[in-house]
Structure 1
Amino acid sequence: MNRSTKGYIAKKKPGTSLYENLHQEALELLQKLSGATWTDYNEHDPGVTLLENIAYAMTEVAYKIALPIEDILHSSKGAALASGDNGLFEAADILTTSPVTFEDYRKLWIDEIPNIKNVWIYPVDSYEKELANIKGLLHVYVEKYEYHANRKNEQRENEEIKQQMRSLYQANRNLCEDLYAIEVYKPLSLVMDFHITLSDLVEGEEVLASIIHKINDYLAPEVTYRSLGQMQEQGHAVNTIFNGPSLNNGFIEDVSLKDPKNYINIPEIIKLISRIRGVVNISDFSLSFLDPVAKKQHVIRESLRIPKNMTARVLFPKTNEQLVFENSGVVFYPDLVQTKKQLSFIQALDASKFKAASHADNTIDIPTGSALDIEEYFPIRKQLPELYGVGDHGISQGASPLRQAQVQQLKAYLLPFDQLLVNFLAQLNKLYTLYDVRTEDKQTYFTNTLPDVAELTELLMPQTTDMELEELERYWSVVTHELMRYFDRHASSRLHAIADQLLARYSEVFQGYALEKINKASYLGLIPEETYKNQILKSKRQLVAEYGTLSYQRAKSFDYTAIKTALGDQEQRCLAGVFKKIAIATGIESLEIKSFTKTVMDAGIHLHAPTEELALKISEITIDTPLGQVEIDEVSVQFTHVELQRELREGMHFVGGDEGVLSTVLKEGINVENYSIQPHPHKEGAYLVLHRSRVGAYHVVHIATSKEAAVSAVHQAVAYLLELNKRSEGFWIVEHLWLLPDFKAETFGFCIDFSKIVASFDLVLNQYKKMNFATRDEQISKLLHGIQEGTVQFEGLKREGGYACLVLDEGGEELAISENVYPSVPALEEAIGGLARVLKSTTVETVEELTTCYVYYGDEKVDETFFSFTMSWVLPAWPVRFQNDNFRKVFEHTVYESLPIHIVSEFHWLTFERLQAFEELYFQWSDLFQLQSEDPSVIEARNFYAFELIKMLQMFA
């Protein structure tokens, strides 16, 4: 209780209630408007009474407006909100993302795949031995919980883990990135020896179990999971908590993802043991392991650098002979059976910190709200005093006709007020519908039937009619809905504003105005403007409706390993992630992964060159055109109408002369004004349909049996071509990285061009022989370090026509050979001397900049920069919107805005013939790519088609 009230409810201050404010404002307005004719504003005045009741009714409306939004939306929908309704998503759906950073991938792999304890990821170009050439390749190292003693079982499990990691990676892969290699750490098994003094408060078995557990946690820390509550208790914001991939077992903090241990430090481990409860003194402690080379046990007494790609762990002791405990001068050895039980208990308790967080407890649900009858309304007339005669009791039957008429007049006067308030409540109750992004409804104003229609029949019943109550209610509902539809003429603008407001929640701006102008210009104004707006509204709503998925997958790339499945499976055929978002944002309605040339060929559009030999010629025809009469000496008839009724696909043949004929037909064929219908000169009752091409020539494209059939054929053709334009829109994406051959294959090389330092010094060094990726980078590293340290050697190698300069390391290994061939030994020696002089004044960084890495496809080579963070967008050039230069700019700008800044995009707008050649190569490559076969013939064929694709993309550029 508020002490300032001194135990009683404080009296409401004047002017603090909505009713009082409405009443006072209305009175002031009445005084201004009718002060000269209406002098009595006291409470007994009927006008003031009406005003009071209207103000009171409005307070009820205001009360419902002020209800919690979750109650209004629940009532409006008729059920609790689900994630995504009205663009409102659960935190787990809208704040999470598919993996973006290395930490994200580590969390996903640890969470999803059994027996993975930790994962470390390094970009390939970060190693000292590797040159910064191909970007986006990841080298992954895996640490397991348990290792098998049996070699075959261990190898089998490792391969299973690698395959699971690859599959999970492909399903969540970032753009222009790929796995270079996955390596599973091997265990470095350690054995303990110690002499430890204990207090009387503990048992040796419990202490030994704690020692094993703590040392192993020190050597390879466990990744800890947190629940949502724990993360919030630690002060993490919700945005931070849900940032990253959606996990099954809770949340993993980045600080929990520790780097791998490089050293075993015995003094640190002794300090760790000394803090265990009951440990009094450690007189001796050591760790030992079996040296695989010397086949001897190696004792670690101070420290040891852990060998690369290995993880150290203490084994459970096989014997207790070297595990000495002492208490009060008594020496004893721990019981290993009891120790194992204690260790299992400790591990079980510790594991509860890791994967015990329930998924249901780690979400923030949308508030449920309560179902309320928002549209319930009590008419104003029923609130008036009985004396007015408009309430439920009405007026006495003995009242005069004038009095009865006055009552009806008052009811009629109050009817618009009641209907307006009923409409307002209907509008409030349709709030969910207004913001529903999964509907195609175009209505923004709503109405409802009065609750007291049965008592207003004399006012609502049309003259000269006699309706039952149900008919009257339906009639009045139609009247109010039609009236509302009349006032709802600007519904489209309001719905666009709502969609824009929903998009603004996610800082998204849809380029609707630009697309509307582009559509209008592309389709020559042939499509009604409202149709454009509806299409754009549909795209806006779709973007909001799918924003949870699109946001989660915003960095996710296309899964090339599933393209064949996607093309064959209707459910998986849709674009995903950023590609789907780009398609929606640019108004592309067809979101399927498909062959665009096949779409055209399946459409049945017949295209002919004018020089083609045809079966029928018609001479000396004069036709009427929009430009007047035109005499045509000869018209080629591309189709002879044999059957009276034919499908449009078989009955309309278009003509063109260049490789852009499809673009011409799809643009000019949608314009009715480009068609002319003329009587057949040699066949009575038949009509010719002629189509005018861009150059002004007319060609017969159809023969109809009547003028009506000809007109119908034209309209069908236009509608069909409009639909084909939409179905032809889309794009292919080629991430250049995926065209690389296997990294283990000997297909990699390099080149150092010293003429870039001194133009007059023409010397180019190439790799001595083609190598695999890792070996090639090692050779470059040796060469660069050898140049820096002056340890490289130069020799002459006899070649046909002369001598080449061979570069070797200090051990005599061939590193590189000159591309130049010198005619004599003196000429070679002069070149070697020149190289030595150049290198003296050149830093290794400069030589590295001169180094170009190549990928070889047979004898052909490709600069590796082609594969680094670069992708090609291949698009059909024939849809009318895609022919528009402004649309191309908008599309490319949308791509730049949607992709990470480090990704380079190249755009290729191809004619039908070029895209057909591209798709043929693409499908041949992808079919071989998905086989993942080790067959040399399959690998050779895959590399062949990959190189053909590379050449084609380079030609398009």
Structure 2
Amino acid sequence: MKTGDSFSKNDIEKTSLNFSELRNKGIEYLQELGGDIWTDYNLHDPGLTILEQLCYGLTDIGYRTAYPLEDLLVKNKDLPIDARANAFFSPSDIFSSHPVTNTDLRKLIIDRFDEVQNVWISRLKNEGFHEEISGLSRIEVLPKLRFIRKLSADQHAREDFINRLKKFLNANRNMGEYFSEVCLLQPRPVEIKCNIHLPEQNDIEQTLSQLFLSLFEYIYVPVRFRTPDEMLSENQTIEEMFAGPRLIKGFLPDEPAKERIRVLDVDILQRLFSKADGVVKCEVKSIVCGDTESQKMTIDPDHFFHLLKDTGQYDSNARFDYLYSQLKVFINEKEINLLHKDVINNLLFEKWSKKYRAYSMGDQKEKTFNEKLEKTYRDPGNYHSLQRHFPLIYNIGPEGLADSEPEEKKAKASQLKAFLMLFEHHLGGHLSQLANLNHFFDIDFSSPNEPAFRNEWINSVPNWATLFPDHQLPASQTESQEAYLKKKNAVYDHMLARFGEELSEVPWKISARLHLLRNEKEYLLAVIRHKSLFLKNVDRLGYNRSKGESIGAPEVPGENEIAGLEEIICLKSGIPLRNKPIVKKLSEQPATLLAPGEHYHNIEQLHHNYRPVRLTELPEFSENENVNLSPSFLGGIEIKLLFRETVNPQNYRISRKTSDDQNKIQVIFRKETRKWVRLYEGKNEADALRFVAQSINYFTELNHHAEGFYLLDHILLLDMLADSQFGFSFKSEYGDNFFGTMADESWSQTESERQNSLQEFFLCAPDADNYRFENKQWLLQNNEGKVIATSAPLPDTENPVVDRQVEKAKNYIRFFSSPEEKNGAERYAEMEKIRLMGSIAGRNFGQRRLVFQRRLSNGQIINEDFFDFQVSFLFPDWPARFQEARFRDFITELIRERIPSHIKNNILWIDRNQMQNFESVYQKWKDAKARQKEQSDKHHLAKLAFDVYTEIQTLKAAK
């Protein structure tokens, strides 16, 4: 079987290092090209001497080029490779990610909070076929032993810790997720009544301390950090070691949390104590908690079993009273009345702190990576001129020629020197690029005018200044700046591909076509700068790709509070990051009142009196310069046309030059196809062109400032549900209400009451006696006469058939409440109906649904599925780029490619008035949520959140 071609970095071209082969190859070329005029290829021939010197130079270049790439990236002696500049990211930078799973988040909380012994996260899950709020989690924290002591002594410690943890969770939540409750478990002291039998000659203190350690590990479920060596010894790969969030206290294996102890059982404790080394026999009699003594003890909700005494005046030995109060120790069946408790206690905490300590990792976890950066500096750019190796008779070495030598001889030497410098230019340039390889791959694009290579090599040429007038150095660049930028662009494409990333140039091609970028240089600079910015932050962008927005001040000063996806979209599309507010009043720009603009309709007269403006004749302008625009310019044109057409130089014309010095130069603008308006009148053409340049620059900047978007995570609007009631609604295949909570008495005050009402619906709906027709609606009642659910209003009818309604309700019940194995065929038929029916009479035919609902304090009813893993993107529709269908398609594809697959997205393109209304309500809600501290704020915050919800629903309905 034929294998495909391959290449390896170890397969170096041997010819470049073989002097003889190069020399023979050179002679072959000479014979082929000049065999009829040059036949002497012996060693004494000057041409052969030159060839040999060139071959020697090529072998030197080949040898230096064959240096290990790592050595070529070292900038200076005694310095390592600049990892960040070359996009070499450490394993912790590139393999880690923002917490995604419960295990990830547990690791991060335990790592960041010294007060946390262990933590448990429970996510509220949807069960069955109803649609309710998803993404909510409850956090239960078991405090560390020393923090438990602090909680008993400091009444503010609990509240301060919970507030810090909530702020931390807000800053580290995933998109579509929220933490509904944070619970710091409270201690419930327990005592264990038991007898421990030890053999004679036993180290009592060691045995009891080890037994207590096993008990502590069982009760408090501690988490042990590992060192890098320990992780490797457990057969963990580098990728597995650094997977998940970045930790600072060591490594935690990627394993689920052990269940916290909610029940203490004498039998389990009996087995636990019996396994302790040195214990002959163990008798666990009972568990004592306050006045209760039992064989099996269940902990109260939001509490944990505590083995130490952390109340009253602090005494290190008194803390252990609960451990010893019910403990009896026997040696040879004789009870020991005196135990060295202080020794046992010290041994216990010594073992505990040693086993469950945190590690000050520092650079330890990056040790292997940093070692790989320590390479040898080769100084590959140190060029030694070929002319220094020629025999003295050639007169081109450092010795040169005496002033007394004939001019002809000097001329011949200079000719040979100049001829050889053509070759040396390439040899020196090659080594110069080799020496600056680290700079060429530098991801920080801060020198757009950087030459292709430097000309330091020329300093090695003997007496080079004699060849140049005034001793001026020749130009070092051998390529245009555009050529260099194209090469740099290709290099950045390669470096992005290392991380599986690509930065499409489509957004900037659209900008260039719309004249937002004036030429190829501006286009290349814009593309390269964004690729450079992406590369410099690729580790953070990858880490935060699923991170949600944090409302309020960041948990860490300087930390970015926006969603990771928002930053990725901005960098990949060229949209300014956090350019808010988007709506900018045009009246902020000063305008000079000119005479009302004249409109020109006569095209022939227009061509005769005015000429087009060429882009090349427009002067450079300053972004800070003001431009005076007439009211007719700002007010007489629709906003989309204003943003799109004002940046196009083809829409401007200036009056033609005449011999009459009294004539003033005018600038006119095309507002419509055959309608031009005068904008400016000045004394000369230079001022007119400057006005055009300033106008284009102003509206280019206006486009830039108008670009932006909002990413609204629906779950953040949960504040609107304060004091709301719980209900449900069955939706038909057309999205209409079939039966649901509509009557006032049907609404539940708690979620558990709603579940009971739903169960009652399933029980009562099949019985026709439970239906009552009233006000064109069916009312479904339970046995006590309470209305459980109400149907949608029916058309006018005098004799509605209850059997038909009951049969329809039974069908719904079978679909929503029956086990899948019994009604799989019916559900399959339901899906087939959706596939076959499609859209009927302009209405979408879909799946029947059970939607959970809330009725707010203002009487409004909202569906809980609004908060169910949904986000909305709001883009302005008036900036020039945002009007282009191709740009909108690009944004849509980008969002759907990068957003987590379980998140539903709504992309809305809205006009200026809609954006202004949204920004008004959004900013009020966001400001209030950021400063929310007291319960008294919740009603005001609920109103503001509802205003945002209403605005979103209005925009979606108008879509």
Please confirm whether the aligned pair reaches a TM-score higher than 0.5, indicating the same fold. Answer: yes
CA distance in 1, matches of 2:559, 2:702: 22
Picking from 467, 488, 493, the partner of 1:460 is 467
Alignment partner of 2:332 out of 328, 337, 340: 328
Measure, in 2, the Cα distance between the counterparts of 1:815 and 1:142: 42
Could you tell me which residue of structure 2 aligns to residue 818 of structure 1? 790
Q: CA deviation at 1:670?
A: 2.1
Q: Distance in 2 between matches of 1:574 and 1:183?
A: 25
Is the Cα–Cα contact under 8 Å of residues 780 and 790 in structure 2 kept in the other structure? Answer: yes
Change (3 A) 1:189 1:599: farther
Taking a change above 3 Å as real, the CA distance of residues 51 and 304 of structure 1, as seen in their structure-2 partners, is: farther
2-structure distance, mates of 1:945, 1:207:
66
Matched, 1:583 2:535: no
Aligned to 1:446: 453
Matches within 5 A, 1:301-316: 308-315=301-308, 316=320
Task: Give the counterpart letter for 1:341 in structure 2.
Answer: N
Secondary structure at the counterpart of residue 250 of structure 1:
coil
Matches of 1:202 and 1:342, distance apart in 2: 16
**Equivalent residue number for residue 950 of structure 1:** 952
- Write out aligned runs for 1:385-464 (5 A): 385-394=391-400, 406-438=412-444, 439-443=446-450, 445-450=452-457, 452=459, 455-457=462-464, 459-462=466-469
- Taking structure 1 as reference, are residues 210 and 456 closer, same or farther at Cα in structure 2, changes over 3 Å only? same
Structure 2 residue ranges without an equivalent (≥5): 1-13, 309-319, 611-623, 820-847
1:216-236 C-alpha deviation (Å, 9 max, x unpaired): 212332212122232223222
The within-5 A match list for 1:120-519 is 120-125=120-125, 132-146=131-145, 148=148, 156-255=156-255, 257-261=257-261, 263-282=263-282, 284-290=283-289, 296-300=291-295, 308-315=301-308, 316-318=320-322, 320=324, 322-333=326-337, 334-352=339-357, 355-363=358-366, 364-365=369-370, 367-394=373-400, 406-438=412-444, 439-443=446-450, 445-450=452-457, 452=459, 455-457=462-464, 459-462=466-469, 467=470, 472=471, 475-476=472-473, 479-481=474-476, 484-485=478-479, 490-512=483-505, 514-519=506-511
Change (3 A) 1:822 1:489: closer
Is the contact made by 1:745 and 1:771 (CA closer than 8 Å) also made in structure 2?
A: no
1:777 to 732, 738, 751: 751
- Counterpart of 1:504, as a letter, is A
Aligned amino acid, residue 845 of structure 1: F
Q: Any idea what SS the aligned residue of 1:862 has?
A: strand
CA distance in 2, matches of 1:758, 1:547: 43
Greater displacement, 622-631 / 197-206: 622-631
CA–CA separation in structure 1 for the residues paired with 2:958 and 2:421: 71
Which of 502, 516, 526 is 1:535 aligned to? 526
Q: What whole-Å deviation, never above 9, does each CA across 1:902-944 have from its counterpart, x for those lacking one?
A: 2222222222222111111211222222232422652453244
1:558 lines up with 2:549 in the alignment: yes
Say whether residues 1:878 and 2:878 are aligned partners: yes
SS in 2 for 1:119: strand
Distance 2:333 2:178 in 1: 62
Distance in 2 (CA, whole Å) between partners of 1:785 and 1:15 is 85
What secondary structure does 1:842 align onto?
A: helix
- Equivalent residue, structure 2, for 1:898: 898
Q: Distance in 2 between matches of 1:150 and 1:508?
A: 49
User: Which amino acid in the other structure matches residue 579 of structure 1?
Assistant: E
- 1:655 to 1:890, Cα distance in 2 relative to 1, 3 A: same
Residue 739 (structure 1) aligned with residue 721 (structure 2): no
Distance 1:620 1:628, change over 3 A: same
Structure 1 69/409 Cα, relative in aligned 2: closer, same or farther at 3 Å?
Answer: same
Q: Which of 514, 517, 525 is the matching residue for 1:522? A: 514
Following superposition, the deviation at residue 816 of structure 1 comes to: 2.9
Structure 2 vs 1, CA of residues 456 and 576 (structure 1 numbering), >3 Å: closer, same or farther? farther
Give a deviation string over 1:355-414, Cα, whole Å, max 9, x none.
Answer: 124232112336033444332122212223445444344568887766655544443333
Question: 1: distance between equivalents of 2:58 and 2:187?
Answer: 77
Aligned length: 880
Q: Specify the alignment match of 1:720 in structure 2.
A: 698
- Tell me the equivalent position of 1:596: 582
Tell me, what secondary structure is at the counterpart of 1:93? helix
Preserved CA contact (<8 Å) 1:687 1:705: yes
Q: Is the 8 Å Cα contact of residues 714 and 872 (structure 2) preserved in structure 1?
A: yes
Q: Distance in 1 between matches of 2:865 and 2:287?
A: 48
Match of 2:67 in 1: 67
AA in 2 matched with 1:911: D
Partner Cα distance (1:39, 1:620) in 2 = 82
CA contact (8 A) 2:131 2:864 kept: no
What is residue 843 of structure 1 aligned with on the other side? 814
Cα deviation code 1:167-205 (max 9, x no counterpart): 112222211211111223333433122222213453323
Please name the residue that 2:4 is paired with.
Answer: none
Partner of 2:852: 853
5+ long unaligned stretches in structure 1: 1-13, 607-613, 632-645
How far the C-alpha of 1:731 sits from its partner, in A, is: 0.9
Deviation, 1:894, is 1.1
The Cα of 1:83 is off from its aligned counterpart by 4.4
Structure 1's 648 and 319: CA in aligned 2 closer, same or farther, altered over 3 A?
closer
For 1:415, the aligned partner's letter is M
Q: Greater CA deviation, 593-602 or 844-853? A: 844-853
Q: Which amino acid in structure 2 is aligned with residue 946 of structure 1?
A: V
**Helix, strand or coil at the partner of 1:271:** helix
Confirm or deny that 1:915 pairs with 2:915.
Answer: yes
1:50 corresponds in structure 2 to 50
1:672 to 2:623 alignment: no
Is the 2:719–2:942 Cα contact (8 Å) retained in structure 1? no
Q: Assess, with a 3 A threshold, how the Cα gap between structure 1 residues 742 and 111 changes in structure 2: closer, same or farther.
A: farther
For residue 835 of structure 1, report the CA deviation from its aligned partner: 4.6
Shift of 1:628: 4.5
Matched residue of 2:190: which SS? strand
How many Å apart are 1:516 and its aligned residue? 4.5
Q: Is the 8 A contact 1:71 1:372 kept in 2?
A: yes
Does the aligned pair in 1 maintain the 2:16–2:58 contact within 8 Å? no
TM-fit CA distance, 1:314: 3.4
**Code of the aligned partner of 2:567:** K
Distance 2:594 2:424 in 1: 76
TM-score normalised according to structure 1 size: 0.81
Moved more, 552-561 or 796-805: 796-805
CA distance in structure 1 between the partners assigned to 2:452 and 2:152 by the alignment? 72
Name the amino acid aligned to 2:935. E
One-letter amino acid of the structure 1 residue matched with residue 690 of structure 2: S
Corresponding residue of 2:927: 927
How much does 1:591 deviate?
A: 1.9
* Distance (Å, rounded) in 2 between the aligned partners of 1:453 and 1:796: 104
What is residue 869 of structure 2 aligned with on the other side? 869
Q: What amino acid sits opposite 1:664 in the alignment?
A: L
Question: How far did residue 496 of structure 1 move?
Answer: 1.5
Q: What's the CA shift string for 1:620-670, capped at 9, x where partnerless? A: 988777864799xxxxxxxxxxxxxx9745443345789x82211122222
User: Residues of 1 paired with 2:491 and 2:771: CA distance?
Assistant: 76
In the TM superposition, 1:624-639 aligns within 5 A as 628=607
Answer whether contact 2:287 2:297 (CA < 8 A) is retained: no
The normalised TM-score by structure 2 is: 0.81
Deviation at 1:163, TM superposition (A): 1.6
Cα RMSD between the aligned structures?
Answer: 4.3
For 1:428 and 1:268, locate their aligned partners in 2 and report how far apart those are by CA, in whole Å.
70
AA paired with 2:217? D
Q: Deviations over 1:36-64 (max 9, x none)?
A: 55555454554444333322222222222
Q: Following TM superposition, by how much is the alpha carbon of 1:870 offset from its aligned partner in structure 2, in angstroms?
A: 1.5
Aligned twin of 2:729:
751
Report % sequence identity: 22
